[in-house]
């Protein structure tokens, strides 16, 4: 049962149930969309798991990116705080994040590593293989169940050697030998033809830019793109530059990776942020968060002159080593505009391989499917069209079309040794939104109001009425926000007041006063009047005060 990730990018979470046992894979968050203004992020709906918390035996985490771990602080208590099976690096990153949530429960971990096989419960055991993504210690899960082996690759990319040969094929064949009943495969890049860019190519290109840079170098990337961060630090070392890490989350991730030995550096390569001015420009690399133009990230602070230790100076070379998340194009443009205005030399990955995606395109997908030879194919991670396209990839790689299963979030697939059937029953999978301290308290009505307020603004009309006579007692108060300046539009203001007095004045003397009826009249008549005058439909909020 997929709870998220099948109709979006992010919010990845699925679970397997057999008899009275449930095993979950991943618990990610999704970043807000245009349709969800003001929301911090969206997490999977765990209603079903909450109701069946006694059955939950394990949460397996494939890797420590937020779209796979981000929901953990919000859901663990609800689902009975099951043990988390994951690798050491993922565990440490999850633990650090959990510290930001003082009320969340203490987590229980079962450390696993590639090569391990662990028994989880009566019906489930899991074997782990080395995953290939952009963060170390990713794992591939082969969940062994009475209905066969279920293979979840997590986020998937293929790496190539210098001759262009795909790496890890031996591992995929090993998985194949064990027999894969069903594979659950990343569809993020399913539409993209060809093979992925090799990290080695990226490394060469970045090094080339490094060698030409006349002054300081700033590399902007994600705090969680630990493989890339390691790569640029290695290049810096080869080029005789010291490394400064700017951005709290990146500093913490690097420290965790160093402590666990995933990033091995010569003593003294990384120098403290506050020492950045002690080195010559051509001897410094700054690795910074904020390549997406995020408001509070280090790169934005640097540009706005709000960073404690770093300002842009002419001759700085800035390298954007990440893809732009759709929706951030404008913020990244602003970032680049300001960098250019301040004299920086900019290199971005849009037109040069300074970044390799963490998601394999079509030829990578087909190669892995040809090697693993699954019986059933479930495309996961991505909007419908991406997953639909991935079915075509699978068919080209030899999976029977009738064995490809296109599900939606909340649907239930019954998998047996012989067949897969998507049954009629569903589990709740609608958005759970996190906004400030609130989880799930912002619903569709609140969002709809926010969208209307954003588009058209609002007008509050306060009429004070004599309870006995139904007569209006004083000139109505009118306030508006996000609509027009009413102060500058006295004509409209006067006309609203005139119309409200009219509404109350037309009340027959002997009629009983129904407040809601008045409110309805005000909403309709003033709303229509404002629309005729302005062709806008602000939210009209009538308040009638009875004295």
CB of 131 to its own copies, least distance (A): 26
CB of 329 to its own copies, least distance (A): 4
- Extract the tokens encoding 485: 């300046």
CA nearest to 219, candidates 132, 290, 297? 290
Closer of 105 and 443 to its own copies (Cβ): 443
Kindly name the residue from 68, 347, 359, 381 that is annotated as catalytic. Answer: 359
CB of 252 to its own copies, least distance (A): 22
> From CA 471, how far away is CA 504, in angstroms rounded?
6
Query: Three-class SS string for 385-449?
Result: HHHHHHHHHHHHCCCCHHHECCCCCCEEEEECCCCEEEEEEECCCCCEEEECCEECCCCHHHHHH
CB of 479 to its own copies, least distance (A): 6
> From CA 466, how far away is CA 463, in angstroms rounded?
10
Closer of 108 and 350 to its own copies (Cβ): 350
Provide the 3-class DSSP secondary structure of residue 498: helix
**DSSP secondary structure letters along 133-185:** SSSTT-EEEEEEETTEEEEE--S----B-TT-PBSSHHHHHHHHHH--SEEEE
Q: Does residue 133 have an active-site annotation?
A: no
186 pairs with which residues across the strands? 380
> From CA 237, how far away is CA 227, in angstroms rounded?
16
Closer of 105 and 438 to its own copies (Cβ): 438
* Segment (H or E) for 246: strand 242-246
Residue with tokens 């057999």: 18
CB of 388 to its own copies, least distance (A): 4
> From CA 169, how far away is CA 165, in angstroms rounded?
9
CB of 66 to its own copies, least distance (A): 19
Q: Residues 6 or more apart from 283 whose CB is under 8 A from it?
A: 240, 241, 242
Kindly name the residue from 26, 67, 186, 364 that is annotated as catalytic. Answer: 186
State the residues that interact with its own copies by CB under 8 A. 7, 33-34, 37-38, 191-193, 326-327, 329-330, 333, 336-337, 339-341, 346, 348, 350-351, 383-385, 388, 435-438, 441-443, 445-447, 449-451, 453-458, 460, 462, 464, 473-474, 477, 479, 481-485, 488-489, 533-536, 539, 541, 543, 545, 547
Q: Does residue 381 have an active-site annotation?
A: no
Closer of 93 and 447 to its own copies (Cβ): 447
Phi first, then psi, for residue 508 (nearest 5°) are -65, 145
Q: Which residues are known to be catalytic?
A: 186, 359
């Amino acid at each position: 049962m997929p709870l998220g990730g099948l109709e979006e990018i992010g919010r990845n979470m699925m679970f397997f149930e057999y008899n009275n046992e449930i095993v979950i894979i991943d618990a990610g968050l999704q970043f807000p969309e245009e349709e969800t203004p003001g929301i911090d992020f969206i997490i999977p709906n765990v209603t079903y798991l909450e109701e069946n918390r006694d059955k939950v035996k394990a949460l397996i985490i494939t890797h420590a990116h937020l779209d796979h771990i981000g929901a953990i602080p919000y859901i663990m208590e609800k689902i009975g705080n099951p043990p988390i099976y994951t690798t050491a690096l993922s565990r440490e990153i999850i633990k650090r994040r959990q510290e930001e949530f003082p009320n969340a429960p203490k987590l229980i971990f079962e450390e696993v590593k590639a090569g391990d096989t662990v028994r989880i419960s009566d019906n489930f055991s899991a074997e782990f293989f080395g995953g290939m993504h952009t963060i170390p210690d990713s794992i591939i899960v082969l969940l062994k169940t009475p209905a066969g082996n279920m293979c979840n690759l997590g986020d998937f990319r293929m790496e190539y050697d210098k001759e262009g040969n795909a790496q890890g094929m031996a591992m995929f064949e090993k998985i194949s030998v064990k027999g894969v009943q069903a594979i659950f495969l990343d569809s993020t890049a399913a539409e993209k033809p060809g093979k992925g860019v090799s990290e080695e190519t990226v490394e060469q290109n970045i090094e080339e830019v490094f060698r030409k840079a006349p002054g300081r170098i700033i590399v902007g990337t994600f705090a969680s793109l630990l493989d890339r961060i390691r790569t640029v630090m290695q290049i810096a070392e080869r080029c005789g530059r010291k490394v400064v890490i700017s951005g709290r989350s990146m500093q913490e991730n690097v420290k965790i990776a160093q402590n666990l030995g995933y990033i091995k550096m010569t003593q003294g390569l990384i120098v403290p942020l506050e020492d950045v001015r002690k080195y010559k420009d051509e001897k410094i690399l700054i690795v910074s968060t904020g390549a997406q133009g995020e408001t509070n990230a280090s790169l934005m602070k640097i540009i706005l002159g709000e960073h404690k230790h770093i300002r842009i100076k002419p001759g700085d070379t800035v390298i954007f080593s990440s893809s732009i998340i759709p929706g951030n194009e404008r913020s990244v443009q602003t970032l680049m505009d300001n960098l250019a205005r301040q004299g920086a030399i900019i290199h971005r990955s849009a037109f040069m391989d300074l970044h390799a995606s963490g998601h394999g395109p079509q030829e990578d997908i087909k190669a892995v499917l040809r090697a693993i030879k699954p019986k059933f194919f479930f495309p996961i991670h991505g909007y419908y069209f991406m997953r639909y396209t991935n079915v075509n990839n699978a068919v080209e790689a030899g999976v029977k079309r009738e064995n490809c299963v296109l599900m939606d979030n909340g649907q239930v697939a019954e998998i047996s040794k012989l067949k897969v059937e998507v049954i009629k029953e569903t589990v709740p999978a609608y958005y759970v939104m996190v906004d400030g301290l609130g989880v799930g308290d912002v619903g569709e009505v609140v969002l709809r109001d926010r969208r209307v307020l954003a588009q058209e603004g609002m007008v509050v009309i306060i009429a004070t009425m004599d309870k006995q006579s139904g007569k209006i007692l004083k000139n109505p108060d009118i306030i508006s926000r996000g609509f027009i300046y009413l102060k500058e539009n006295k004509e409209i203001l006067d006309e609203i007041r005139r119309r409200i007095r009219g509404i109350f004045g037309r009340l027959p003397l002997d009629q009983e006063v129904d407040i809601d009826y008045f409110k309805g009249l005000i909403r309709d008549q003033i709303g229509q009047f404002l629309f005729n005058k302005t062709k806008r439909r602000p939210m009209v909020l009538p308040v009638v005060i009875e004295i």
